[in-house]
Amino acid sequence: MFYINGTRNVLPVSWHTDNNVARLPTELWTHAIGHLSCKQDLTKVCLVSSLFCAISVPFLYHTIDVHISDEAEWDNHRSLFIKLYEPGFSNLVKMFKARIGCDSVHRSPSCYCDAVDEGIGRVISTLKNLKTLCVECRLCGMYDRHSYLLDGIPTRHLEAFKFNCKKCHGPNNTGGSTFGSKHLFAAPNMQTITSLNLSCQSSWLVGGDGTLKTIVQRRDILPLLKSLVYDVRAGETLLGFPNKFLVSRPITRFYYPGYLRPFEESTYSCVNLECLLLLPDWYLTTIIARQPGVFAHLKHLGVFRAPMDEVVDNNRTENDMVEELRPLTALKHLHTIEITHWIAPAQYDAFEMSEQDSYAFFEYTESFLQRLADEHPSLCRIHIGDIFRPVDLAMEGMLWEREPGGVWAGREIPPLDKWDVLNGMLDVI
Ligand SMILES: [Zn+2]
Ligand SMILES: [Zn+2]
């Protein structure tokens, strides 16, 4: 057997010829090389032989993850972008993630943002076989960025789309659009999407009020949508709960980072949901206790947080948690819950917590998990994660799973954002 790691290539010398390599069927090599997840390793395998190179290149270009936050990083990516203009490489890309940012609040003559956005757009317009597209933008806010999202994506097989941009305005803005009357959902690549993360300004949506209401009746728009993150804002203000849209599409997995009041008035729209994620607020269990039938299909629910008394006492907090979660016994299919690491103060308001604040941690003991299991027989997975911090700054998560014998086993997992969770990452991690 051989192994290759990031620091040294330990293939025996005799294996470095096509002759010897050819002794094993190509399918076996493809299988083995497909297990390499590090791009540096794949690049080294490319150097071994022409056969290995042919096998490795599709794995190398399957996922392109671009992270540009300063001019030097932009320069570093230029050669990759030039390569991706060649169909031989661009046709191999199935997943493209771009995280682009800039330190300026406003566009300045020295800003590289226009060039970066244009470059990203030009690359995306070559990716015919793309399945997943993530654009996370922290560029200085402008009215005419990301125009490539409106019609410049050639794929007709896009399955997952994340648009996370809180500053740039879309084509329906009132601040001097250069886009004309196009809107995000009119783009042809939108029709095949099953998972959508909309974290953007309302001016990207349809209609003067920038909501989803106007596309509810348009059955040709997002007809296959199953998972939705809905964090659409007008300036800083989150738009209302998309109740009619939820029931008009086959959506079963949903995250809404808003107040529970509009949610409470729209609970009927949750009747098809299997996974529901909201910001931590114990009022959620009160809502569920009032009308458990509406939530009967739920298998996955969160996010909860441990309440804190004036004196931090783990036993007392455990009792409070068990008490607070008791209304969930009405949900017979519930197998997964999400909890935060944090213990929040009694006067806690989810919207006042910031990523800079520090809060106490709750120790999840096995006896506590056992008490939960006794009360909730269907519960077999608890994901404890860091909320409010972006994934790249968040602390490790914990995943507790109940094994067939009834024993809980916990392990650390990388931080996941809500979209990762909606997309089923906990099932495969
Ligand atoms: Zn800029
Ligand atoms: Zn943007």
Q: Which residues surround ligand 2, an ion (CB under 5 A)?
A: 137, 145, 165, 168
Of the listed ligands, the closest to the CA of 112 is 1
167 C-alpha to ligand 2 centroid (Å): 6
DSSP type of residue 77 = H
234 C-alpha to ligand 2 centroid (Å): 14
Please give the angle made by the CA atoms of 280, 284 and 290, to the nearest 5 degrees: 175
305-358, pLDDT tens digit by residue? 877 665 566 777 788 888 889 999 999 999 999 998 776 655 555 556 565 555
135 C-alpha to ligand 1 centroid (Å): 16
pLDDT higher at 411 or 175? 411
Q: Is residue 221 within 8 Å of residue 213, measured between CB atoms?
A: no
The amino acid sitting at 415 is: P
Residues 82 and 164 in one domain: yes
Of the listed ligands, the closest to the CA of 168 is 2
Residues 15 and 76 in one domain: no
Q: How far apart are CA 161 and CA 149, in angstroms?
A: 10
Residue at a domain's end among 224, 251, 278: 251
341-356, pLDDT tens digit by residue? 776 655 555 556 565 5
* pTM of the predicted protein model: 0.86
313 C-alpha to ligand 2 centroid (Å): 45
Q: What percent of the chain has pLDDT over 90?
A: 37
What mean pLDDT do residues 10-21 have? 48
163 C-alpha to ligand 2 centroid (Å): 9
Q: Is residue 205 within 8 Å of residue 170, measured between CB atoms?
A: yes
Residues 211 and 284 in one domain: no
237 C-alpha to ligand 2 centroid (Å): 17
Respond yes or no on whether the N-terminal peptide bond of residue 303 is cis (omega within 30° of 0).
yes
Residues 31 and 98 in one domain: no
Q: How far apart are CA 386 and CA 407, in angstroms?
A: 24
Q: What percent of the chain has pLDDT over 70?
A: 84
Residues 301 and 391 in one domain: yes
73-122, pLDDT tens digit by residue? 998 998 899 999 999 999 999 999 999 998 777 777 778 888 999 999 99
Burial 261-285 (b: 16+ CB within 10 A, else e): eebeebbebbeebbbbbbbbbbebb
Q: How many CB atoms lie within 10 A of CB 138?
A: 17
33-86, pLDDT tens digit by residue? 888 778 888 888 788 888 888 888 888 889 999 999 888 899 899 889 999 999
Residues 238 and 277 in one domain: no
Residues 209 and 273 in one domain: no
Q: Which domain holds residue 153?
A: 69-251
| pLDDT given for residue 344 in this prediction | 63
Residue at a domain's end among 60, 78, 111: 60
Residues 366 and 386 in one domain: yes
Residues 322 and 364 in one domain: yes
Number of separate domains in the chain: 3
Q: How many CB atoms lie within 10 A of CB 339?
A: 22
Q: How far apart are CA 148 and CA 168, in angstroms?
A: 13
Contacts of 215 (CB under 8 A, 6+ apart): 185, 206, 221, 222, 245
Residues 268 and 319 in one domain: yes
Q: How far apart are CA 230 and CA 419, in angstroms?
A: 10
Asked whether residue 398 carries a pLDDT value surpassing 70, the answer given is yes
Residue at a domain's end among 194, 226, 251: 251
Residues 315 and 414 in one domain: yes
Residues 153 and 244 in one domain: yes
143 C-alpha to ligand 2 centroid (Å): 9
